[in-house]
Chain A
Amino acid sequence: MQIPQPRGPLTDELFGTLRAGSDDFYPVLAAGATDGEDAALALWVLHELHYRGFDEVRDDLEWDPQLVRLRGALERDLEQRLRERFTPPVGLSFVEDFFDWVAEQDGASVAAHVQRDADREQVLELLRSRSIYHLKESDPTAWVVPRLGVRAKAALMELLYDEYGGGDPNRLHHHLFAQGLRASGLAASYGAHIDEVPLEVLEQNNAMSHFGLHRRLRGAALGHLAAFEATSSMPSRRMVQGLERLGFPDEMVAYYAEHVEADAVHEQLAVRTICGGLLAEEPGLEEDLWFGAFTCLDLEDRFARTILQRWGVGEDRKEEVA
């Protein structure tokens, strides 16, 4: 993957230093971000050093102390912003009440617009935005595995085994999405569309990486997973109908069709066996489960509002359930 285009003074300084192969990042630490996009893109690039890296960046910089320090500062700002938006539900049990809580959140839905009204260009833009996560689908959650007790670990692996194709590379979900992108005439290489995605997409991805990379936030990571899975089946069905309406190729339709059935399973596993298993072993993490779940729905709602507003779609486009 190539380093993205900078979006401000921090990313300008950071990307220049990364490209130069230097490990003197003091000027970067001094640069500071001028706005949210600059900070979010810097954090996205620093997180990516822990996934697949960049063609022009030395692999050993993944654990450079100055870059880890910068990453930590950007992550603290991100987590503080996310926590300020969150109010823990009172008197609810995560395992018993989760699906009803999700149904009450009533966020804006891009899938409902795709199903009925979106044009081809809008759907192509949406697929490019989704590609930032879908081309590494489940990878942030995989980091959580070694941080769990026996029950939650076995339960998470049962779900992840399906996400990663059950041993068959042809069924691996992010491979299915790449095939769908290629068939739709879009670049399918990892991170190919990063330069055009809005702040909200960067924040969605940064939150998942942040939760996944920190053992302290294992509860938030699994709560996020539960909310993601619980808001996937029906929107995926809407995506299937919208993609078929617009004549998108079978490969792209197949990706979403797979998620209709897979996530009807995964939402049950995520809430009952994964989060339930975590709570049986670490009951003190229930509030973190809710924090992760809320953050998932809140960030998707912010993304949906941004993109629907830009397309001139009114805010009455709600999902019946999540």
Chain B
Amino acid sequence: MTLITSKRHRGAHDAGPSGWFVAPALVFFVIFAVVPLVGVIALSLANWNGIGAITWAGFANWAKVLVDPVTGNALVVTAKIMVFSYIVQAPISILLGAFVAGKQRYRALLAVFYFIPLLLSSAAVAIAFKALLDPNFGLGAGLGIPALAQDWLGNPDLVLFVVIFVIAWQFVPFHTLIYQGAVRQIPASMYEAARLDGAGTIAQFFHITLPQLKYTIITSSTLMVVGSLTYFDLIFILTAGGPGYSTRLLPLHMYLTGFRSNDMGAAAALGVILVVIGLLLALMLQRLGGKDRSANQTEGA
């Protein structure tokens, strides 16, 4: 079999490295990711308060979770945050990426500051914004503009937009960095040709930069959309899901159900829903991206 596969074969047998090289990674992944994945399905069929005995519950958790209006609300909040934060983040990241890809000195200097949020933990970001958005001792009071001295985190009509803004503040830098790298890989000759044809900056952006970024846009979008299922810590500290249930997105709802209300069975059922959404999204984006991505990977190198 090995003889057939290697064409430039010069006498040595190469069966490829043994599967044992994969074993350590596989063991870790199976024990702490695959087993929990099965476990979350099993626990969704059980009663457990986190400490005591585990008993069979059948589909009681599912019946409870699926009719609970809080679950429906959590799904809506999750979808809103996913869609709005994508609409905000994607254009800003692309524009900033193209901006800092330029060679001007001042842009390089600005970029140094742009990337600072990359270093901060969600906990740090949430705590900083909580203080900054305080109506009495924060931004609004500092600038003396009453419109900015709102109870940003206590107003159910505003809080979702605040959360989306803070998410953008934290995650745009990473995507900017991805786009910066991608824009720099676009051959300069393409821009020269466009300039000779009289294309302005804006025309160059839409006819060269944007089409050339196609695959990067897919990668970045996948990370953004799937990533929005993980904005747990930021929102947990910033609003704890409140006021009321207005920012209680699915992962947070699951955590609070399991570890605050001690209903691990119901939390596991919510976990299953989360897994299914994650898989569906990834599958959908994969379809959207098409199968030519491997071809692009060598081209861009």
A and B together in one complex: no
Residues in chain A within 8 A of chain B (CB atoms):
none
